[in-house]
């Protein structure tokens, strides 16, 4: 088998070079043979002829050698099928349909029948045929390109997304997007709130939400699906559902059923529908299912570019011969997507935390093959196919789920580095540990929210409230920071409805360890202390927490105090604005 770099460039005059043309909808351009004698017609690939000249396409990409010929893919610009081609007996077919033609035997030309399996095996590459290393599926919109109007369609959406208080804090405190400043103090009189300079929505989440709302609004006649939850916030997901969005699968990958028909939506998705890929990205398996159905993947892919950056880092490490260690939660959509991408280029393994990293370090250090295999048992379900213990733990590079604690990733890197040093010696460590992975791949938005919170916890407070969805990993990391500083006075909640009264709050025990039944549940805890002097409350929100929720929490807490002792929101906003 020849390597990718040895494949030839496309030569249209070479009869052994077979070119397949795909539309941006991922459908293959076929021609119906003029003189078909089997079953009435035969589909052929579009040969180099006059029709070919009418189609603008990208540079052909060599896919592989198949027997005595080479297979090339190229993409036709645009989604629409040029009408003049219809008259000439052409059609754009989904890969699923072509598979059907193949099963019916006589409907495919022999060469198309022969290349069918190769086309399918490489279909995941179709949407990215002309991507360069520096290209991203979707770049963050600039401030001018942003479409903030989409949030405010009715009072309920406005209440969810808008907070005049948060806007005022951001204007004053967030002069730099990527670096944290002092927290903001909101003095309401009987209560003082401390809000970190950075909290809540990151650019990746804002981009994904805006695209989802725009897609729903501009396609009223189509079914619009989200592959799974757009972000980990139930209120945002519910608002999207209210506007007509459907979900194809749960955050755990379980297919969602159509309530009217009782069948999985996955079974009925066609090229008439739209499927949006969330900010976490998607596994190749899921993307392949969409490509096969002829859905235009890139047009509705909201994968965050910072997630894609991790994939690119994993690819670079793999090309240099490193095994990629992904610090992440194996059940999280983003880690699944990163694992799926990384496994294409490198042996890959997911490590959840320091405990698992320590176990992997033991495997590396052990000289006994039997012991290594035994210690490695918990990782068997967490590593890529064909992972070979005898060679794939020799050269390591670490990337991470973008929303974890940076310090934990750094400690994992230290642990693995020290194990490799033990085994191969300090002098050789650079051959065995990718030093560039020391910068880790945490996203800056997660990092700046953590940094800003780290500044805020330097001040003593009565309670700390962290707001975010139950399955929001970055929110949990913020909670961990507060828990470390304030112990049982730190609470993880989803919204103001978790504040039951002045004295009670429902705190969420995050399911960090999904096997522990005591996790993933709400617990009612004592909330505010009773005293006459002003209380101090720290509030922050995860990257998927809309600002409106924070303001609703402040309003609820304020409602527990005599109105004469509480300043109005407008008064407090004026004080915040005066801080400039
Ligand atoms: S938290 Fe970071 S990686 Fe995730 S969507 Fe936001 S910016 Fe992107």
User: In terms of domains, do 423 and 328 share one?
Assistant: yes
The answer to whether 260 and 252 have CB atoms below 8 angstroms apart is: no
pLDDT at 516: 75
CATH code for the domain of 160: 3.40.1010.20
User: In terms of domains, do 437 and 310 share one?
Assistant: yes
Is 114 noted as a catalytic residue in this protein? no
The angle that helices 333-342 and 284-292 make with each other, rounded to 10 degrees, is 80
CATH code for the domain of 257: 3.40.50.11270
pLDDT at 267: 94
User: In terms of domains, do 438 and 459 share one?
Assistant: no
pTM: 0.89
By percentage, how much of the chain surpasses pLDDT 70? 95
At residue 115 the predicted structure's pLDDT band, cuts being 50, 70 and 90, is very high
Q: Which domain holds residue 69?
A: 4-128
In a domain, 140, yes or no: no
Indicate whether 187 pLDDT > 70: yes
User: In terms of domains, do 228 and 259 share one?
Assistant: yes
Query: Among residues 92, 113, 128, which one ends one of the domains?
Result: 128
Q: Residue of the nearest CA to atom 6 in ligand 1?
A: 204
Query: Among residues 414, 442, 470, which one ends one of the domains?
Result: 442
User: In terms of domains, do 296 and 334 share one?
Assistant: no
Closest-CA residue to 181 (of 170, 189, 192): 170
Indicate whether 40 pLDDT > 50: no
| Mean pLDDT, residues 91-96 | 90
At residue 437 the predicted structure's pLDDT band, cuts being 50, 70 and 90, is low
* Cα 177 from Cα 170, distance rounded (Å): 10
- Beta carbon of 150 within 6 Å of any ligand 1 atom: no
| Mean pLDDT, residues 308-333 | 94
pLDDT at 204: 87
User: In terms of domains, do 281 and 310 share one?
Assistant: no
Could you tell me the distance, in angstroms and rounded to a whole number, from the CA of residue 289 to the centre of ligand 1? Answer: 25
User: In terms of domains, do 400 and 430 share one?
Assistant: yes
User: In terms of domains, do 173 and 121 share one?
Assistant: no
User: In terms of domains, do 273 and 346 share one?
Assistant: no
pLDDT at 37: 55
In a domain, 377, yes or no: yes
3-state secondary structure of 488: helix
- Beta carbon of 304 within 6 Å of any ligand 1 atom: yes
| Mean pLDDT, residues 64-86 | 84
Query: Among residues 300, 332, 360, which one ends one of the domains?
Result: 300
Q: Residue of the nearest CA to atom 7 in ligand 1?
A: 204
DSSP state for residue 126 in the 8-state scheme:
G
- Beta carbon of 307 within 6 Å of any ligand 1 atom: yes
C-alpha dist (Å) from residue 405 to 166, 352, 368, 448 = 24, 12, 34, 11
As a whole number of Å, the end-to-end CA separation of the chain is 66
User: In terms of domains, do 258 and 311 share one?
Assistant: no
Indicate whether 166 pLDDT > 50: yes
The active-site residue, picked from 210, 308, 333, 334, is 334
User: In terms of domains, do 453 and 407 share one?
Assistant: no
User: In terms of domains, do 465 and 362 share one?
Assistant: no
Number of domains in the chain: 4
Contacts of 292 by beta carbon, 8 Å cutoff, 6+ apart: 94, 95, 96, 99, 120, 123
Q: Residue of the nearest CA to atom 2 in ligand 1?
A: 443
């Amino acid at each position: 088998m020849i390597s990718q770099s040895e494949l030839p460039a496309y030569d249209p005059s070479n009869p052994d070079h077979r070119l397949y043309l795909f539309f941006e909808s991922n459908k293959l351009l076929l021609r119906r043979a003029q003189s078909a004698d089997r079953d009435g017609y035969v589909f052929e690939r579009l040969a180099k002829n006059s029709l070919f000249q009418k189609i603008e396409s990208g540079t052909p990409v060599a896919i592989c050698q198949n027997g005595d010929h080479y297979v090339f893919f190229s993409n036709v610009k645009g989604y629409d099928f040029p009408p003049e081609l219809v008259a000439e007996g052409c059609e754009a077919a989904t890969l699923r349909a072509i598979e059907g033609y193949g099963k019916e035997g006589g409907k495919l030309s022999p060469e198309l029948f022969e290349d069918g399996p190769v086309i399918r095996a490489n279909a995941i590459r179709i949407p990215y045929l002309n991507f360069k290393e520096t290209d991203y599926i979707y770049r963050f919109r600039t401030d001018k390109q942003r479409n903030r109007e989409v949030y405010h369609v009715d009072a309920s959406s406005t209440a969810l997304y808008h907070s005049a208080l948060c806007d005022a804090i951001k204007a004053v405190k967030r002069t730099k997007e990527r670096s944290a400043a002092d927290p903001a103090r909101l003095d309401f009189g009987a209560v003082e709130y401390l809000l970190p300079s950075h909290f809540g929505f990151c650019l990746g989440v804002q981009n994904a939400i805006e695209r989802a709302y725009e897609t729903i609004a501009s396609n009223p006649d189509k079914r619009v699906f989200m592959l799974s939850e757009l972000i980990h916030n139930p209120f945002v997901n519910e608002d999207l559902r209210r506007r007509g969005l459907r979900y194809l699968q749960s955050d755990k990958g379980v297919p969602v059923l159509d309530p009217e028909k009782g069948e999985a939506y996955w079974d009925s998705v066609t090229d008439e529908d739209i499927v949006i890929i969330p900010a976490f990205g998607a596994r190749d398996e899921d993307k392949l299912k969409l490509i096969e159905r002829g859905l235009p993947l890139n047009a509705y892919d909201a994968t965050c570019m910072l997630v894609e950056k991790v994939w690119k880092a994993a690819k670079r490490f793999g090309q240099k011969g490193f095994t990629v260690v992904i610090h992440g939660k194996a059940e999280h959509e983003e880690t699944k997507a990163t694992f799926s991408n990384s496994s294409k280029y490198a042996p890959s393994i997911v490590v959840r935390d320091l405990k698992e990293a320590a176990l992997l370090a033991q495997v590396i250090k052990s000289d006994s093959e039997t012991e290594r295999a035994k210690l490695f048992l918990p990782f068997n379900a967490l590593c890529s196919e064909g992972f070979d213990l005898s060679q794939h733990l020799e050269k390591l590079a670490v990337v991470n789920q973008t929303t974890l604690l940076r310090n934990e990733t750094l400690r994992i890197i230290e642990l693995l580095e020290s194990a490799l040093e033990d085994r191969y010696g300090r002098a050789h460590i650079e051959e065995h540990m990718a030093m560039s992975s020391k910068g880790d791949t945490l996203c800056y938005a997660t990092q700046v929210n953590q940094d800003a919170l780290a500044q805020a916890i330097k001040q003593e407070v009565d309670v700390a409230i962290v707001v975010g969805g139950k399955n929001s990993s970055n929110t949990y990391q913020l909670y961990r920071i507060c828990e470390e500083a304030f112990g049982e006075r730190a609470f993880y909640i989803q919204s103001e409805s978790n504040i039951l009264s002045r004295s009670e709050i429902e705190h969420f025990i995050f399911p960090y360890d999904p096997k522990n039944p005591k996790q993933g549940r709400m617990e009612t805890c004592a909330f505010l202390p009773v005293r006459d002097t002003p209380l101090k409350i720290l509030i922050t929100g995860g990257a998927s927490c809309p600002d409106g929720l924070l303001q609703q929490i402040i309003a609820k807490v304020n409602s527990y105090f005599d109105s004469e002792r509480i300043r109005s929101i407008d008064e407090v906003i004026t004080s915040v604005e005066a801080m400039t």
